[in-house]
């Protein structure tokens, strides 16, 4: 017999080899009916899998990230079977679950079209109704190669050949489709009620542009049609908010062929960027940080010493100066360490908090580039803190409070994830356990809600990541706190303690915004370009009705500018309606249409860019003094509208 421990701490006894489905059924028929799988001793498993030993078991549903992964991984297999039926010459690459669904990469002479997606959807629905179950089998590596080679499944053979000799490999069969796959999968595919294939893209095999370009089909599925409809609505809303589209319309930034992945910021975009950096500096000054600046290019040997060479060189750029090898920094931490080593410190100097807006460069594949969200050059709002072990928890709490304040300024909700030791880590288990426990205790003492993300820490230490939820429910990883016992060891860093001994400091790496570029992209989409007044590139647009109103409008412009407002006078020889629509398209927060009445009364009907339920712009009757007072109060309070 084996014992199963459930999330509430209760234990149940079952015969060895019991199926997870039968465990769920013994707890509740309803649980067996609705569960999609289970997390067993930290590993996600399918309901059709057996338990061979005492286990901690948590059943998962579609609402859980593990449940979604099972659901969408199975859906990728359903799509693959549908494609195999419709296009028999196809060769299969990989088909994983992703954040919002799944994809599969195919090699076929047929070029997929949007019309093909509709046919594949219909075949998927037919397969679901056929009531297949995914059957798991295992083969030795050599047998698997012998099985797939005659079928000309070159991609499966390539994957198998990369595994060590003697490896036992699992496969899943769905109808007439068999796939090399670790699983897990749904026991009952009839749960896949709503299907939508979304797009077609190209993808290089293994992400290597020297390999063949495959065709990738993206899709998503849900248990209920209404959930699919809600998701598709969010997709349309996301398109409307696309920062690349809004960036063009508002003339904020551009990407040029001469510098792929290297953003060009236009004057209006620089206003937003500069206001963000001003705010960043204000909050860091209040929190006791000093600002530093380190070089962008440093000797290659430094990156060997830091460990980045072993873990990150594929993402780095290199150059040569005076016949010596140099690297363009992908991270700011070694520069901060060199400043630390330039001085001598005692425990009385701690904690030391150094912040840097550091420009870094990282090589990204061209297919991964995406506006400001994924670039090859970006400015990290980095900081490195140095402290004694006794200070760790208080400093971590201070960083969390700073992040909380910044995120709330922009209306973001967020959750935190604690990531633990990865496979390719530096340092001992004891060091990692100590560091991880310090982060966990800081979170728990703050009463913070967090999720555990096993094995996803940085190579030098565990971390806390902040995942922001935007106005339409998408999440973005921005801030991070990384505890590091390794760099001080590698760079022989020390301070003098209260016993006059030389000891290693503790180092913390952290960001709040993550990168200025990416955070700007997130803000554009969060507000759909309707920025809070304090960071809006243009705060007021003046629209004279005719040319004879222009001189008066110019005097209003001068007065508002003297009050510190960013104001533009539209002098174009166009109709008023055209100018109003132009201001709305450019998402200017406030508009003043100036005609005879305004000249006579020195009072204005001020239009706000937000509209009421009937679609009419909010309007206020203000004098010039009231306008400047009200707008200044809005700027000072950093009010936002979602």
User: Helix or strand or coil: residue 125?
Assistant: helix
Strand partners, 476: 468
For residue 519 the two structure tokens come to 């955070």
| DSSP code, position 110 | S
Q: CB-based burial of residue 40 (10 Å sphere; 0-12 exposed, 13-18 middle, 19+ buried)?
A: buried
Is the CA virtual torsion 163, 169, 174, 175 positive or negative? positive
308 is catalytic: no
Query: Given 382, 470, 484, 570, which residue is catalytic?
Result: 382
Chain mean position to CA 593: 41
Query: Given 48, 84, 380, 431, which residue is catalytic?
Result: 380
Strand partners, 102: 97, 219
Cα three-residue angle 300-305-309, rounded to 5 degrees: 60
206 is catalytic: no
CB atoms within 10 A of CB 306: 21
305 is catalytic: no
Cα three-residue angle 89-93-98, rounded to 5 degrees: 130
Query: Given 284, 509, 587, 607, which residue is catalytic?
Result: 509
Provide the phi-psi class of 427: left if phi over 0, else alpha when psi is between -120 and 50, else beta: left
Query: Given 181, 333, 403, 478, which residue is catalytic?
Result: 333
Cα dihedral value 381, 387, 391, 396, nearest 10: 20
Query: Given 284, 463, 541, 549, which residue is catalytic?
Result: 463
181 is catalytic: no
Please check whether residue 638 is in contact with residue 570, taking contact to mean a CB–CB distance below 8 angstroms.
no
Please check whether residue 337 is in contact with residue 294, taking contact to mean a CB–CB distance below 8 angstroms.
no
With a CB cutoff of 8 Å and minimum separation 6, the contacts of 600 are none
What CA–CA distances, in Å, run from 336 to 341, 353, 395? 9, 11, 18
Q: CB-based burial of residue 104 (10 Å sphere; 0-12 exposed, 13-18 middle, 19+ buried)?
A: buried
User: Helix or strand or coil: residue 48?
Assistant: coil
463 is catalytic: yes
Query: Given 384, 421, 510, 587, which residue is catalytic?
Result: 384
CA 373 – CA 603 distance, rounded (Å): 43
Query: Given 77, 362, 549, 607, which residue is catalytic?
Result: 362
What are the start-end ranges of the E strands in 101-180?
A: 101-107, 135-140, 168-174, 177-180
Catalytic residues: 333, 362, 380, 382, 384, 463, 509
């Amino acid at each position: 017999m084996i014992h199963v421990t459930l999330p509430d701490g209760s234990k149940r006894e079952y015969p060895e080899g019991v199926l997870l489905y039968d465990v769920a059924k013994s707890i509740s028929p309803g649980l067996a009916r609705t569960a999609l799988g289970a997390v067993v001793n930290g590993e996600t498993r399918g309901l059709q899998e057996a338990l061979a030993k005492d286990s901690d078991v948590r059943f998962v549903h579609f609402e859980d990230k593990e449940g979604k992964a099972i659901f969408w991984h199975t859906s990728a297999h359903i799509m693959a079977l549908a494609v195999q039926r419709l296009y028999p010459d196809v060769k299969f690459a990989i088909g994983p679950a992703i954040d919002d669904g799944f994809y599969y990469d195919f090699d076929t002479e047929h070029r997929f079209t949007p019309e093909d997606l509709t046919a594949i959807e219909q075949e998927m629905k037919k397969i679901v109704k056929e009531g297949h179950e995914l059957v798991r089998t295992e083969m030795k590596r050599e047998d698997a190669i012998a099985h797939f080679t005659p079928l000309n499944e070159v991609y499966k053979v390539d994957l198998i050949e990369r595994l060590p000799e003697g490896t036992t490999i699992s496969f899943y069969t769905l109808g007439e489709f068999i796939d090399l796959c670790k699983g897990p999968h749904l026991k009952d595919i009839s749960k896949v009620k709503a299907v939508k294939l979304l797009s077609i893209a190209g993808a290089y095999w293994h992400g290597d542009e020297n390999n063949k370009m495959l065709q990738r089909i993206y899709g998503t599925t849900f248990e209920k049609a209404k959930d699919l409809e809600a998701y598709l609505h969010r997709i349309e809303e996301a398109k409307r908010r696309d920062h690349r589209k809004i960036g063009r319309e508002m003339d904020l930034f551009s990407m040029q062929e001469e510098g792929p992945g290297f953003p060009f910021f236009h004057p209006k975009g620089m206003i937003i960027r500069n206001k963000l950096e001003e705010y960043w500096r204000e909050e860091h000054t209040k929190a006791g940080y000093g600002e530093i600046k380190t070089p962008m290019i440093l000797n290659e040997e430094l990156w060997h010493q830091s460990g980045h060479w072993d873990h990150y060189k594929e993402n780095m750029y290199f150059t040569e100066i005076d016949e010596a090898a140099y690297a363009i920094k992908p991270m700011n931490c070694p520069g901060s360490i060199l400043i630390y080593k330039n001085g001598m410190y005692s425990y009385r100097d701690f904690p030391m908090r150094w912040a840097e807006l550091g420009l870094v460069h990282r090589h990204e594949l061209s297919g991964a580039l995406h506006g400001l969200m994924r670039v090859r050059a970006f400015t990290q709002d980095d900081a490195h803190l140095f402290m004694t072990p006794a200070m760790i928890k208080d400093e971590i709490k201070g960083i969390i409070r700073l992040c909380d304040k910044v995120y709330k300024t922009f209306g973001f909700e967020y959750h935190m994830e604690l990531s633990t030791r990865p496979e390719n880590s530096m340092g001992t288990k004891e060091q990692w356990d100590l560091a991880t426990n310090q982060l966990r205790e800081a979170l728990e003492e703050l009463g913070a809600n967090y999720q555990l993300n096993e094995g996803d820490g940085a190579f030098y230490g565990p971390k806390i990541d902040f995942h922001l939820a935007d106005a339409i429910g998408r999440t973005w990883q921005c801030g991070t706190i990384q505890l590091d016992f390794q760099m001080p060891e590698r760079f022989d860093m020390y301070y003098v303690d209260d016993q006059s001994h030389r000891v290693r400091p503790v180092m913390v790496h952290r960001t709040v915004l993550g990168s200025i570029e990416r955070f700007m992209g997130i803000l554009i989409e969060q507000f759909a370009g309707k920025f809070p007044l304090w960071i809006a590139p243009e705060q007021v647009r003046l629209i004279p009705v005719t040319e004879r109103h222009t001189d008066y409008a110019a005097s209003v412009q001068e007065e508002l500018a003297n009050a510190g407002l960013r104001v533009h006078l539209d002098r174009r020889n166009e109709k008023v309606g055209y100018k109003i629509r132009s201001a709305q398209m450019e998402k200017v927060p406030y508009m003043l249409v100036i005609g005879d009445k305004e000249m006579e009364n020195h009072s204005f009907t001020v239009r706000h860019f937000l509209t009421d339920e009937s679609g009419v712009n909010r309007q206020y009757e203000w004098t010039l003094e009231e306008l400047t007072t009200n707008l200044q109060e809005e700027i000072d309070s950093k009010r936002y509208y979602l």
